[in-house]
Structure 1
Amino acid sequence: MKPDVAVPARAELGEGPTWDPASGRLIWVDILSSRVHTYEPDSGRRTVMATGQHVGAAKPRAGGGLVVNLRDGIGLYGPDGAFSWLLRDPVPGRRGNDAAVAPDGALWAGTMRYDEATGGGSLTRVAGDGTATPLPGPVSVSNGTGWSPDGHLMYYVDSPTRRIDVFDFDGQGVHDRRPFAVIDDGDGFPDGLTVDAEGGVWVALWDGAAVRRYDPDGTLSLVVELPVRRPTACAFGGPDLTDLYVTSARVGLSRPHPLSGALLVLPGTGRGMPGTAFAG
């Protein structure tokens, strides 16, 4: 199983691939270049939009446009491109990181400190009206978040823990946090994740040059080696949601692979679940 190159970008810190079925395109970001990218597999058409500040994630909105997890909070782009703040909460030395939309349409938005200080990040549920509810407990580098096919479980990565954790999910809140899978020293750090239609959890391994799939019981079932040292996140896309897209990064590498920073794709790898648009 070898990846193809979907977009030969040279992203500093590519992240957050998300399939938008309404437009038939993949949305992803380059965090440190403050850009939101889109890619249409059928036509090959690409767009790039500057956000003006570091952007950790961009997700479709139910009424059109995008919700973005920015350095200083949660922003909204309308269908016409007009920008407004939904939740502005600037904290010196902190930025938005990965984010995901829950089955109820709320955005679970993560943050981290630029210096990656322990306990300096957060994970917050942001409702469509901007109401914010933080996840209890310390967070350092908030990353991948996803939900089981039945919506009863939420998976979550705080990268320095080297774990994927799982919570019980009641439709809005979470409880009973416990380890789901542990990444051994030397295998990289868990980063962004996605859940497939069978309940398998796929995770990109920063500094691990691979994507892994874990069965619903936490058993490691597949390892896909990649040419890039720092894959950052993965998501299923395409009309039938069978192609796995993987973002990657060049940042911090003295000798990056020529494909570092590219958007990669593993065609026909599995089958994803339809996503939910942000309710705001």
Structure 2
Amino acid sequence: MQSIDIAVRAHAQLGEGPTWDTAAGRLIWVDILGSRVHTYEPDSGRRTVMATEQHVGAAKPRADGGLVVNLRDGIGLYGPGGGDFRWLLRDPVPGRRGNDAAVAPDGTLWAGTMPYDETPGGGSLSRIAPDGTVTEILGDVTVSNGTGWSPDGTLMYYVDTTTRRIDVFDATTLDVANGTVDASQFRASRRELATVEEGCGFPDGLTVDADGCVWVALWDGAALRRYTPSGALDRVVDLPVRRPTACAFGGTDLRDLYITSARTGLDAPRPYEGSLLVLPGAGRGLAQPAFEG
């Protein structure tokens, strides 16, 4: 495995949510507190930055072009080229914002929220259908973060950061019929995959590789960890940033692991805090679906 490189030198306050956009051959990531959506094309080095009207927790590609964004007050849609903004779902709650999000194998968006002050139980995880129908999957969440699915789609992994746990659910127990969703059995299947011990940071964003292993960024832990499907710690990668936030495989062969980072709350930030990092040849990722809405 090669050493960590700096893909994009940046000073993001809270870099998050890297996602490989296969159709466009680019990486999408956000600066939540900077209200910016960034793109980066590794082949050409081309970069773009788009301002959003609110704090933006995540940005994911749409099947017909454009982006779906998890904003402070709900879910928004941008058309191709970043224009024609409209709300798909607007549900403002004082003191709460959108956080990490992921697109499920069926093309629905799973979007998390969290309270700015991290009040316990003040956040949630919801499933948003392409038509904007929303189903709360998990309530009583504090910092809704990494979400991802196993290669065969039968398992879903999830992080509520303050618990220090990576949890796993049986995705096939989610009952979707005639436009209604019953998540009771899904919630009942929740169990611990792994726990990050005190003094090693907090689990944040995650991605699942083609081997079914879970990579998780450790906020305040200056590292990435890879866990096997059985929950065994398989690999630790030390990083030159104290607050890595999330990771995603990208590049034409999905073998390079991109890592976002934050500088918010740090005294005397190191030179690379807030940059987009890359670990070339880290493994083999999975192509991520686009939002069908």
Q: TM-score range by the shorter chain?
A: over 0.9
Q: Which amino acid aligns with 1:111?
A: T
Residues in 2 aligned to 1:145 and 1:255: alpha-carbon distance in whole angstroms: 31
Residues in 2 aligned to 1:23 and 1:140: alpha-carbon distance in whole angstroms: 34
Residues in 1 aligned to 2:165 and 2:154: alpha-carbon distance in whole angstroms: 20
Give matches, 1:175-190, under 5 Å. 175=187, 176-190=189-203
1:73-131 deviations in Å (ceiling 9; x for gaps): 00000114110000000000000000000000000000001001100001000000000
Give matches, 1:12-161, under 5 Å. 12-80=13-81, 81-161=83-163
Residues in 2 aligned to 1:126 and 1:136: alpha-carbon distance in whole angstroms: 13
Residues in 2 aligned to 1:82 and 1:136: alpha-carbon distance in whole angstroms: 31
Identity of aligned residues (%): 75
In the alignment, does 2:211 pair up with 1:211? Answer: no
Structure 2 residue aligned with 1:223: 236
Name the Cα RMSD after superposition: 0.9
Q: Which amino acid aligns with 1:206?
A: W
Q: Which amino acid aligns with 1:61?
A: R
Give the deviation of 1:137 after TM superposition: 4.0
Contact in 1 for aligned 2:75/2:87 (Cα 8 Å)? yes
Report the 3-state secondary structure (helix = DSSP H, G, I; strand = E; otherwise coil) of the residue aligned with 1:33: coil
Contact in 1 for aligned 2:30/2:58 (Cα 8 Å)? yes
Give the deviation of 1:225 after TM superposition: 0.2
Structure 1 residue aligned with 2:245: 232
Report the 3-state secondary structure (helix = DSSP H, G, I; strand = E; otherwise coil) of the residue aligned with 1:32: coil
| Structure 2 unmatched runs, 5+ | 177-182
1:7-26 deviations in Å (ceiling 9; x for gaps): 00110000000000111000
In the alignment, does 2:274 pair up with 1:273? Answer: no
Residues in 2 aligned to 1:205 and 1:11: alpha-carbon distance in whole angstroms: 17
Report the 3-state secondary structure (helix = DSSP H, G, I; strand = E; otherwise coil) of the residue aligned with 1:135: strand
Report the 3-state secondary structure (helix = DSSP H, G, I; strand = E; otherwise coil) of the residue aligned with 2:290: coil
Give the deviation of 1:254 after TM superposition: 0.6
| Structure 1 unmatched runs, 5+ | none
Structure 1 residue aligned with 2:179: none
Q: Which amino acid aligns with 1:219?
A: A
Distance 1:106 1:13, change over 3 A: same
Report the 3-state secondary structure (helix = DSSP H, G, I; strand = E; otherwise coil) of the residue aligned with 1:138: strand
In the alignment, does 2:260 pair up with 1:247? Answer: yes
Give the deviation of 1:51 after TM superposition: 0.4
Which consecutive aligned stretches of 4+ in structure 1 deviate over 3 angstroms post-superposition? none
1:119-150 deviations in Å (ceiling 9; x for gaps): 00010000000000001441000000000001
Contact in 1 for aligned 2:168/2:190 (Cα 8 Å)? yes
Residues in 2 aligned to 1:3 and 1:235: alpha-carbon distance in whole angstroms: 14
TM-score normalised by the chain length of structure 2: 0.94
Report the 3-state secondary structure (helix = DSSP H, G, I; strand = E; otherwise coil) of the residue aligned with 1:108: strand
TM-score normalised by the chain length of structure 1: 0.98
Residues in 2 aligned to 1:138 and 1:84: alpha-carbon distance in whole angstroms: 29
Residues in 1 aligned to 2:120 and 2:137: alpha-carbon distance in whole angstroms: 16
Q: Which amino acid aligns with 1:152?
A: T
Structure 2 residue aligned with 1:3: 4
Residues in 1 aligned to 2:77 and 2:220: alpha-carbon distance in whole angstroms: 32
Report the 3-state secondary structure (helix = DSSP H, G, I; strand = E; otherwise coil) of the residue aligned with 1:244: strand
Contact in 1 for aligned 2:126/2:138 (Cα 8 Å)? no
Residues in 1 aligned to 2:74 and 2:151: alpha-carbon distance in whole angstroms: 29
Contact in 2 for aligned 1:7/1:262 (Cα 8 Å)? yes
Contact in 2 for aligned 1:2/1:226 (Cα 8 Å)? no
Residues in 2 aligned to 1:137 and 1:217: alpha-carbon distance in whole angstroms: 26
